[in-house]
């Protein structure tokens, strides 16, 4: 015979209570319930099926069991618990729970749970009964009638069936370590208590590297001082740095991740701040407020400050021990000397930090022979004098190379120099960053709306001419080329002839410049030339048949100019924009022609290209090197490159420190003339210099 106990709360709220951040957290709640029942032994075990999948979870304890007359109160009430009215268990231990919600965590593990318990009645006789619940009906539990006990001791076994997931993390070795952390303070406080997890007894000392207990007074709001203690456990393995707020018995009632708030390089630790006031704060639900509550804030601040002081001393202690060892091994690069001057003292401090990093991060360092370690330290000491900023990363990467890679590097250095290797890699990464940055400039809404093509985009491209063709470079001072181009500008729109200073004026009187004039001298035959003229269209202007017709007409006029009638000169004219109309795209994809060519006649080639195509072609040329470098340009690295080399010309949407461009006027369609000879307005800041680009395949 059994009785059904209803819970008068909405099912949605109960489902939320049944959630747990991790499966171990859910198991822990049930273990804490066992400890709160004065259990001296708790066993957590797992059963798997024929497919090695988790099938059953059991938590068994030898506590005082569940008193049947209290079952309705214990399992029928939510938000209340017998623990709320007590500070200690009958056995004198600190109590963990208080809200009567822990039982619902069982349903984050499996769809059904059963509490089989044995308790002692008033007449000292033992009785058995069970309590069952199902995830599909969280608003009620079934409680059986008590019957004479079959066993001779009290206790409870929680059996969870039909796991929600496989929960492999509960079966892995890390679960033992995490359980040792979670219950470490409690098991240390009550050494007679035994916790067995998946067949292994949890011994907090096994996972601990070192422990310390600090006692100090914490300043509370109003100026009163509160005596608290701080137990610090240093772990042998990597873990999150957590500060637990515990009652006086060491029961953790709240916790927070410390993150970078406490600097403790190389240390993995958990801290337990203990005070009876924490239990009072928990009863008043103030711990959940965190730093909003002045008392909670004062406690956590006191804990953090003492942790900082503790680990400063630990770092000095660890460093001193390391240095003493290195001196004994005769690999420390400095001689003992008294009265160091400030420079020598600073150098040694920097060396000690870097050497400690090598020792910590390079696991193979300790296994190296004495000569190798001595050489490494001499290298660090020497570099500290020259360039300590990038040293740790360089040493880490070089020493972590596999032997085969070290041999390949040594062989390569016989044929070239390390600076050339570095410069080659830098050129590739710079170009990949530029391509990503160019995408942001011409395609992202904010930047392309603000981008001034004449005074910004052109200036940037002037220093990135490799984008269009590796064989071309910007025309320098060939004024006669500008004269030829300027002569025929009217074809591309209403333009006037250049004025006395060589600048081209538009029909409305504003100054105009053309886009890019690139050239190369063909070395195959002496005296042959090829020129590339690029017409850029603003993002709002699509390339259409009218634009293509104008560029074709302009190309023909320039190529037929009398100054080129007896020269061996070839011309390429490119029209580049964000988009093309359907008619223009059809003209650029004709059968029998290379993609993009809209005219190929005699010494003239006219192409229409989109920015997407130009950028994709640039990436294709770099793809092999990108794969070898395993480098991926992202938004941050692209913006960093643009800021470093082109910040003067970036729109406000992308520039970290936007500099107004002197002389910038209303944007107008830009046409071809040579950028290289356009004079900057007086007082305009000098442009940043982009990295040099190899013209002949060699580094410059």
CB 115 within 8 A of CB 130: yes
Q: What DSSP designation does 257 have? A: E
Query: Given 152, 171, 190, which residue is the final one in a domain?
Result: 171
> Is the domain of 459 the same as that of 525?
yes
The answer as to whether 454 is a domain residue is: yes
530 and 650 co-located in one domain: yes
Consecutive H or E run containing 156: strand 155-163
Strand partners, 229: 215, 274
83 plus 120 within the same structural domain: yes
Model pLDDT for residues 650-700, shown as the tens digit of each residue: 887 776 433 333 333 333 233 333 222 222 233 333 333 444 333 332 222
Lowest mean pLDDT among 261-265, 283-287, 546-550, 658-662: 658-662
pLDDT: which is higher, 607 or 419: 607
At 116, which CATH number?
Answer: 3.30.565.10
> Does a structural domain hold residue 419?
no
Q: Do residues 538 and 495 both lie within one domain?
A: yes
Span 215-222, average pLDDT: 92
Cα of first residue to Cα of last residue in the chain, in angstroms, is 92
> Within a domain: residue 250?
yes
Cα 639 to its chain centre, rounded Å, is: 17
Residues forming beta bridges with residue 160, ordered by sequence position = 57, 113
pLDDT at site 129: 95
In a domain, 555, yes or no: yes
Same structural domain, 444 and 494: yes
Q: What one-character-per-residue DSSP string does 523-544 give?
A: SSSTTEEEEEEEEE--TTS-B-
Each residue of 464-475: pLDDT tens digit?
888 887 776 665
Domain span at 292: 207-317
Nearest alpha carbon to residue 27 among 81, 95, 106: 106
In-domain check, residue 200: no
Residue 249 lies in a domain: yes
Structure tokens belonging to residue 27 = 């198991």
Same-domain pairing of 530 and 444: yes
Total domains, the chain: 4
- Confidence check: pLDDT of 127 > 90: yes
Q: Is residue 327 in some structural domain?
A: no
CA 195-199-205 angle, 5° bins: 50
- Pairing of β 110-120 and β 155-163: antiparallel
Domain boundary among 289, 317, 345: 317
How confident is the model at residue 491, as a pLDDT?
Answer: 64
Tell me the pLDDT of the chain averaged across its residues: 77
* 22-26, 65-69, 125-129, 511-515: least confident range: 511-515
The band of 250, judged by pLDDT with boundaries at 50, 70 and 90, is confident
- Say if residues 298 and 339 touch (Cβ distance below 8 Å): no
Query: Does residue 538 share a domain with residue 434?
Result: yes
In a domain, 177, yes or no: no
Which of 103-117, 488-502, 679-693 shows the lowest mean pLDDT across its residues? Answer: 679-693
Residues 140 and 229 placed together within one structural domain of the fold: no
pLDDT at 65: 94
Order across the sheet with 528-536: list the strands: 473-474, 516-522, 528-536, 569-577, 604-610, 597-601
Measure the CA–CA gap between 381 and 355, rounded to whole angstroms: 9
The pair of structure tokens assigned to 429 is 């990464």
Tokens found for residue 215: 């006692």
Of 136-150, 176-190, 492-506, 552-566, the range with the highest mean pLDDT is: 136-150
Tell me the backbone φ, ψ of residue 483, rounded to 5 degrees.
-60, -45
For residues 110-138, average pLDDT: 90
Last residue of a domain, which of 116, 143, 171?
Answer: 171
| Statement to judge: residues 546 and 449 lie in one domain | yes
Q: Are residues 563 and 637 in the same domain?
A: yes
Tell whether 492 and 442 lie within a shared domain.
Answer: yes
Query: pLDDT at position 676, please?
Result: 28
Please give the pLDDT value at position 215: 94
Please indicate, yes or no, whether residues 506 and 595 belong to a single structural domain of this protein: yes
């Amino acid at each position: 015979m059994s009785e059904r106990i209803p819970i008068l709360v909405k099912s949605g709220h109960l489902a939320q209570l049944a959630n747990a951040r991790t499966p171990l957290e859910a198991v822990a709640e049930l273990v804490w319930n066992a400890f709160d029942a004065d259990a001296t032994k708790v066993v957590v075990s797992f059963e798997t099926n024929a497919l090695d999948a988790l099938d059953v979870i059991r938590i068994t304890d030898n506590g005082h069991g569940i008193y049947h007359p209290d079952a309705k109160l214990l399992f029928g009430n939510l938000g209340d618990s017998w623990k709320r009215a007590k500070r200690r268990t009958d056995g004198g231990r600190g109590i963990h729970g208080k809200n009567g919600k822990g039982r619902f965590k069982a349903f984050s593990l499996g769809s059904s749970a059963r509490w089989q318990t044995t308790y002692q009645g008033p007449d000292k006789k033992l009785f058995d009964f069970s309590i069952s619940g199902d995830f599909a009906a969280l608003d009620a539990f079934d409680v059986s009638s008590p019957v004479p006990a079959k066993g001779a001791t009290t206790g409870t076994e929680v059996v969870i069936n039909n796991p929600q997931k496989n929960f492999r993390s509960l079966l892995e070795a890390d679960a033992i370590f995490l359980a040792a952390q979670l219950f470490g303070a409690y098991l240390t406080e009550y050494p007679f208590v035994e916790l067995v997890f998946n067949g292994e007894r949890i011994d907090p000392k096994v996972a601990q590297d070192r422990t310390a207990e600090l006692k100090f007074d914490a300043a509370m709001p109003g100026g009163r001082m509160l005596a608290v203690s701080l137990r610090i456990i240093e772990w042998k393995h990597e873990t999150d740095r957590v500060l637990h707020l515990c009652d006086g018995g060491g029961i953790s009632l709240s916790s927070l991740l410390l993150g970078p708030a406490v600097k403790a390089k190389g240390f993995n630790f958990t801290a337990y701040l203990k005070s009876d006031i924490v239990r009072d704060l928990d009863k008043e639900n103030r711990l959940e407020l965190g730093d909003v509550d002045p008392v909670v804030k004062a406690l956590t601040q006191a804990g953090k400050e003492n942790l900082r002081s503790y680990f400063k001393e630990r770092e000095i202690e660890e460093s001193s021990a390391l240095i003493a060892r290195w001196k004994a091994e005769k690999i420390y690069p400095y001689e003992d000397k008294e009265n160091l001057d400030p420079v020598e003292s600073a150098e040694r401090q920097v060396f000690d930090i870097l050497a400690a990093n090598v020792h910590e991060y390079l696991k193979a360092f300790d296994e190296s022979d004495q000569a190798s370690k001595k050489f490494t330290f001499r290298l660090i000491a020497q570099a500290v004098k020259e360039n300590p900023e990038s040293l740790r990363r360089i040493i880490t990467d070089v020493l972590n190379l596999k032997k085969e890679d070290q041999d390949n590097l040594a062989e390569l250095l016989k044929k070239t120099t390390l600076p050339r290797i570095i410069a080659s890699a830098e050129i590739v990464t710079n170009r990949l960053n530029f391509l990503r940055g160019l995408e942001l400039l011409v395609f992202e809404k904010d930047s392309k709306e603000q981008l001034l093509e004449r005074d910004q985009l052109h200036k940037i491209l002037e220093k990135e001419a490799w984008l269009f063709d590796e064989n071309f470079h910007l025309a320098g001072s060939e004024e006669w080329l500008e004269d030829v181009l300027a002569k025929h500008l009217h074809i591309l729109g209403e333009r006037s002839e250049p004025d006395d200073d060589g600048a081209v004026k538009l029909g409305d009187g504003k100054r105009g410049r053309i886009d890019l004039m690139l050239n190369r001298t063909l070395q195959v035959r002496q005296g042959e030339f090829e020129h590339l003229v690029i017409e850029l269209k603003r993002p709002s202007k699509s390339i259409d048949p009218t634009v293509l017709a104008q560029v074709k007409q302009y190309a023909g006029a320039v190529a037929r100019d009398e100054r080129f009638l007896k020269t061996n000169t070839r011309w390429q004219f490119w029209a580049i924009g964000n988009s093309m109309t359907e008619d223009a795209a059809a003209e650029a994809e004709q059968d029998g022609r290379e993609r993009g060519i809209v005219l190929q006649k005699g010494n003239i080639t006219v192409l229409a290209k989109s920015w997407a195509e130009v950028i994709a072609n640039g990436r294709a040329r770099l793809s092999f090197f990108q794969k070898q470098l395993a480098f991926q340009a992202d938004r941050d690295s692209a913006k960093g490159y643009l800021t470093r080399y082109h910040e003067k010309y970036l729109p406000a949407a992308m520039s970290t420190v936007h500099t107004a461009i002197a002389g910038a006027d209303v944007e107008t369609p830009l046409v071809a003339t040579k950028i290289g000879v356009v004079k900057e307005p007086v007082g305009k800041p000098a442009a940043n210099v982009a990295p040099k680009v190899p013209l002949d395949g060699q580094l410059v």
